[in-house]
Amino acid sequence: MNGQKVGFSNKLGFILAAAGSAVGLGNIWRFPYLAAQYGGGIFLLVYLILAVTFGFALMITEVAIGRKTGMSAIKAFSVLNKKFSFIGVLAAMVPIIIFPYYCVIGGWVIKYGTVFITGQGAAAASDGYFGEFISTTISPLLFTAIFIFLTSVVVLLGVQKGIEKISKILMPILLLLTIIIAVYGLTLDGAIDGLIYYVKPNFSAFSLKTLVAAMGQLFYSMSLAMGIMITYGSYMQRKDNLESSVRSIEVFDTVIAFLAGLMIIPAVFAFSGGDESKLDQGPGLMFVTLPKVFNSMAGGNIIGVIFFVLVFFAALTSSISLMETIVSIIMDKFKIKRSIVCLIVMLLSMLIAIPSSLGNGVWSNILILGKDFLSFFDFLSNNIMMPIVAFLTCIFVGFIIKTKTIEDEVELSGKFKAKKMYRIMIRYICPVFLLIIFISSVVGYV
Ligand code: PHE
């Protein structure tokens, strides 16, 4: 079924492209502050255990569905069982919701990159700079449009010449830059206390919240439940080992998340004299606190440039995967040429991104469920739709088409070592975990 598509040229191409999707803003700003907030080492431990069980089972399922059917989400589910194509439709809605607002944040990253490159790091460190920037009308929209345009160029170039090529260049550089900043950060006075705070397990901080927060993060971080891994799986070759590829993606994603913590937590500690509250600021951590931290260090402007360049790479490869998923779904469904679909998706996304950007400024008085547009789209996709899609996928695979369908696909390229664990995870443990995540986030527990 896979024959007619141009896919990734080899296993490394697939791994780096999928890792490019997984490694994104979630790894860089969200993982470090969650780890700091939920007990340091204990959070890391819980996260690791969940990654190799829960995350692994979900990711292998999606990649195998993609590779088996050779199709993106909507078609893939309908090929497996016509009655359940609605799961594919729900999955397809997630990247459509996320892509525009993700690009708004991508635009902020480009803005900060240009500020540091032009040597104005000190201005970015001044109080109120971020709030003022995102509340203006034209400038953030312009940066969003640039970010969408750059993403579109890569997607237009296609799977091998665009996505695979750029991932092979950007991902190793991203890893290297992250290591450079982490090492530099650790040499600052007071950084070691931050390191200890980050990695030492604080068992008393462990609670159900730790578990729920780690699950939610894992899920988002591995780009699950939105058709991305199905699409990328459809471009994977049958001879490439599916199980070991999924393991490699998880390792890459987790290593970058861990290094991001090393890069941020000790530096913030050194800057704030050990004030933990500075870490707990969500997006503000990256755009408000870090510029202040950089401004206080020797050579901070250069570090700022390196930092925002690496965040840009991380965000770009993730947004590429979002756009590719949307484009491939439309191409599969309507049989339209890639170039035309790219153009349409690019223009529409620029339009749909407008409310998410203006919601921080002139439209800040328009609230949905008490949230501005960007936060609302984020909540809708991450807290509501994604757990539902993942839950339905587990039930579909576990009880309708049966896990054997997936196992056979995995075994086309070698022995499925974790088969027993996989079965239990998909049929029983994952659905229960997903229900817990869903209920907790709906009642506002985490
Ligand atoms: N996995 C990305 C991250 O960790 C988030 C993301 C999800 C990006 C979906 C793109 C698509 O930041």
Task: Determine the pLDDT at residue 446.
Answer: 63
Task: Determine the pLDDT at residue 427.
Answer: 98
Confirm whether 156 is domain-assigned. yes
Query: Which of 78 and 38 is assigned the larger pLDDT?
Result: 78
Confirm whether 108 is domain-assigned. yes
Going by CA atoms, what residue is nearest to atom 6 of ligand 1? Answer: 223
Task: Determine the pLDDT at residue 282.
Answer: 67
Task: Determine the pLDDT at residue 3.
Answer: 43
**Percentage of the chain with pLDDT > 70?**
98
Task: Determine the pLDDT at residue 2.
Answer: 43
Confirm whether 310 is domain-assigned. yes
Query: Which of 4 and 315 is assigned the larger pLDDT?
Result: 315
Residues 234-293 have pLDDT tens digits of: 999 999 999 999 999 999 999 999 999 999 999 988 898 888 777 777 667 889 989 999
**Percentage of the chain with pLDDT > 90?**
80
Q: How far is the CA of 266 from the centre of ligand 1 (A)?
A: 24
Task: Determine the pLDDT at residue 399.
Answer: 97
Instruction: State how many domains the chain has.
Output: 1
Confirm whether 79 is domain-assigned. yes
Confirm whether 286 is domain-assigned. yes
Q: How far is the CA of 60 from the centre of ligand 1 (A)?
A: 17
Residues 349-398 have pLDDT tens digits of: 999 999 999 999 999 999 998 899 998 998 899 888 999 999 999 999 99
pLDDT of 4 > 60? The answer is no
Residues 8-20 have pLDDT tens digits of: 999 999 999 999 9
Confirm whether 258 is domain-assigned. yes
Q: How far is the CA of 223 from the centre of ligand 1 (A)?
A: 5
CATH number of the domain residue 190 falls in: 1.10.4160.10
Residues 212-240 have pLDDT tens digits of: 889 889 989 999 999 999 999 999 999 99
Q: What distances in angstroms separate CA 49 from CA 148, 220, 258, one per listed residue? A: 36, 16, 14
Question: Which residues span the domain enclosing 166?
Answer: 11-445
Going by CA atoms, what residue is nearest to atom 10 of ligand 1? Answer: 318
Confirm whether 307 is domain-assigned. yes
Q: Which atom of ligand 1 is nearest to the CA of 27?
A: 4
The 3-class secondary structure across the chain, one letter per residue, is CCCCCCCCCCHHHHHHHHHHHHCCHHHHHHHHHHHHHCCEHHHHHHHHHHHHHHHHHHHHHHHHHHHHHCCCHHHHHHHHCHHHHHHHHHHHHHHHHHHHHHHHHHHHHHHHHHHHHCCCHHHHCCCCHHHHHHHCCHHHHHHHHHHHHHHHHHHHHCHHHHHHHHHHHHHHHHHHHHHHHHHHHHCCCCHHHHHHHHHCECHHHCCHHHHHHHHHHHHHHCCCCCCHHHHHHHCCCCCCCHHHHHHHHHHHHHHHHHHHHHHHHHHHHHHHCCCHHHHCCCHHHHHHHHHHHHHHCCCHHHHHHHHHHHHHHHHHHHHHHHHHHHHHHHHHHHCCCHHHHHHHHHHHHHHHHHHHHHCCCCCCCCCECCECHHHHHHHHHHHHHHHHHHHHHHHHHHHHCCHHHHHHHHHCCCCCCCHHHHHHHHHHHHHHHHHHHHHHHHCCCC
Going by CA atoms, what residue is nearest to atom 7 of ligand 1? Answer: 223
Around ligand 1, the residues with Cβ closer than 6 Å are 21-22, 24-27, 98, 220-221, 223, 226, 228, 318, 321-322
Confirm whether 2 is domain-assigned. no
pTM of the model: 0.94
